[in-house]
Chains A and B, each alone.
Chain A
């Protein structure tokens, strides 16, 4: 004990850090901030440190070269001791980090913490959010598999919609004219050097401002932020009803960080690493690319937006959203902080959460995508073939062979792009079915060139049988009832 103290004293005499460190750790914060609502920022920081540690570990083995990256991931998964676990920690860590950063952001927004004098802390935080998402996207590329390859293709296609500088943007993003070796090297440099460097600097800045300006007090309805009086009010609060940050406020942060690490370890051990999926070989065209979890909402939005709105939204949307987040504290830097008196803020958050959750949920099963192998893998339910004529059965073969099932489900199997056909005969008459099949409409392509008259007759004969036994098929009301 004595030795530790002597040794500490020896270092402190030379470093001269002890006093300021103690002051920093024990600075007074409002008692109300020692709350479970305030743990998400420190939680993000903890996960970031873990990402640095596991990321450096991965760099010991990973080869950032287009022809070797996928193989090195296999080695990590199957040969390197604990390789699979480090990959799992890093992959799940990225999910955790995106989630924690978003929770932190929602909390800060609802608590009005972005208001005077913490405007710049918020703006730096917005940059940190963008960097986190940047790390998530570039990290997904480094897992160089089919998804990464076609994900880059999507990135290139988005860039290619930019007027005038489209091609230049695509080529500088890809590091060349196609997705290849230099693309991966470029993303490696961005993921491993550029963004982490910026992250360290911005996190430092973010924390420095939190220390200098103090942790935002728990907002009370009616306690209005005014530029002239806030600083004094806050100072008084920390004196009258304050506690030292260490250990009073730190306790919950510390416990939460421990929980987060445990959860991360459990997820990694239980679910294992992400991929890699198939080799990044573009000539394997059987790929069905899908983004990682946190970009599924974007994948869904791009399928569901009206086509003519896509280019403007892809180009202007991010500028508007990021611009709004940056300008927010400047236009609403004072006034009411409490969510109880800010209904628009609360409703906006709810709306965004619901929209993102709904899009994400849709993204998980992508009802807009054809199921590419349904026509050859999902048989027609036998029930639908019982007691049918030869012509009707022939029609069911046409239905199967012309890939109708890729977009239309029968008996719950098949694509969801078009309506399920189980009861189609109750909606369309025979004539309407013929017209729909031959000419197409809405999202349905026309099959006129690919169906012979005999095939059409058989197909429609089968479709006409698809109605519940207790319900009559649709009929043309203008014809005499019989």
Chain B
């Protein structure tokens, strides 16, 4: 009796149809993974850590002479990483505050609250944000309103009379362009 049972079970498990189904499942699983992985990688490509590190580079803001001592002026640069169809969106503004010959601050245009463009008012010595009323002092320190910190600053260097900043990605609280705090003007050692 038991022998008979075993005989009837074995062919059931190993029948050609079952075998085909099992192979089919395995084959489609492999195919599915091979198909899906590149798709996910493609869509999430811009978020890969390796890419992000790459996306900071030195760009010039032009001759240092453009920025008179004691003044804060708007400068623009072409983002170092652009596509041919980026158009105007590849041009990024920033505020350059030249305190003395070699003491400068370069502020990102984006309010630290929610990224709106801050505007400099030389008369009152304030940066004001048009969105939610954030205000910053001339040195970028938070003056009032909802911003959680002072303005973002860029790392900079002066080479052959030109001002260079390290830029390339939109500044947010998660990735400020420089670790340096606003409110602490940096002296540039490289003359």
By a beta-carbon cutoff of 8 Å, the part of chain A in contact with chain B is 65-68, 149-150, 153-154, 156-162, 166-172, 174-183, 279-283, 285-289, 299, 302-303, 305, 307, 310-311, 368-370, 372, 375, 401-404, 406-407, 417, 440, 442-447, 449-450
Please name all residues of chain B whose beta carbon is closer than 8 Å to the beta carbon of A440 when the two chains form the complex. Answer: 143-144
Q: Are A281 and B74 in contact (CB under 8 A)?
A: no
Which residue of chain A is the closest to B169 with respect to CB atoms?
A177
Contact of A289 with B135 in the complex, beta carbons under 8 Å:
no
Knowing that A153-B114, A153-B170, A446-B143 are A-B contacts, what are 16 other residue pairs whose CB atoms are under 8 Å apart, sorted by A's residue number?
A67-B86, A150-B131, A157-B114, A167-B47, A172-B47, A282-B89, A283-B76, A283-B91, A283-B92, A289-B131, A302-B132, A370-B135, A403-B123, A403-B128, A443-B145, A444-B144
Interface residues on B, range: 35 or more
Interfacial chain A residues near B32, Cβ < 8 Å? none
Asked if A157 contacts B91 (CB within 8 A), the reply is no
User: Smallest distance from the beta carbon of B165 to chain A beta carbons, Å?
Assistant: 14
Question: Which residues of A are found within 8 Å of B85, using beta-carbon distances?
Answer: 65-68, 181
Given the complex, which residues of A lie within 8 Å of B46, measured CB to CB?
171-172, 174-177, 182
- Contact B79 A180, beta carbon cutoff 8 Å: yes
Residues of B within 8 A of A370 (CB): 128-130, 133, 135
A339 CA to B83 CA, complexed, in Å: 56
Closest 5 CB pairs of A and B: A67-B87, A160-B172, A166-B174, A177-B169, A445-B143
Interface string of B112-143 (1 = CB under 8 A from A): 01111111010111101111110101100001
Chain B interface main SS type: loop
Interface centre among B82, B118, B147 (most CB of A within 10 A): B82
Point out which of A280, A285, A287 has the most chain B C-beta atoms below 10 A from its C-beta. Answer: A285
CB-CB under 8 A from B61, the residues of chain A are: none
B140 to A: closest C-beta gap in Å:
13
Tell me the dominant secondary structure on chain A's binding face: loop
Residue pair B89, A181 in contact (C-beta under 8 Å): yes
Which A residues lie within 8 Å of B81 (CB)? Answer: 176-178
Is B18's CB within 8 Å of the partner chain A? no
In the bound complex, CA of A31 to CA of B109 (Å):
61
- Chain A CB count within 10 A is highest, among B126, B133, B144, for B133
Which residues of the other chain, B, contact A307 by a CB distance below 8 angstroms?
A: 146-148
Q: Is the CB of A178 within 8 A of B119?
A: no
Q: Is residue B55 contacting chain A, with contact meaning CB distance below 8 A?
A: yes
A304 to B33, CA, bound (A): 47
The reply to whether the CB of B175 lies closer than 8 angstroms to some CB of chain A is yes
What is the distance, in angstroms, from B81's C-beta to the closest C-beta of chain A?
6
Write out the residue numbers on chain A whose beta carbons fall within 8 Å of the beta carbon of B135: 370, 445
8 A Cβ contacts from B53-100 to A: 55, 74, 76, 79, 81-83, 85-93
Cβ of B150 within 8 Å of any chain A Cβ, yes or no, is no
Whether B148 contacts A178 by the Cβ 8 Å rule is no
Minimum CB–CB distance from B48 to chain A (whole Å) comes to: 8
| Chain A residue at minimum C-beta to C-beta distance from B95 | A285
* Across-interface contacts of B92 in A (CB, < 8 A): 178, 282-283
With the chains together, A303 CA to B44 CA distance in Å?
32
Q: How far is the CA of A402 from the CA of B135 in the complex (A)?
A: 14
A311 to B52, CA, bound (A): 23
Contact with A along B20-43 (1 / 0, CB 8 A): 000000000000000000000001
Query: Is the Cβ of A179 less than 8 Å from the Cβ of B89?
Result: yes
Q: Is the CB of B172 within 8 A of A303?
A: no
A interface footprint on B143-177 (CB within 8 Å = 1, 0 otherwise): 11111100000000000000000001110111100
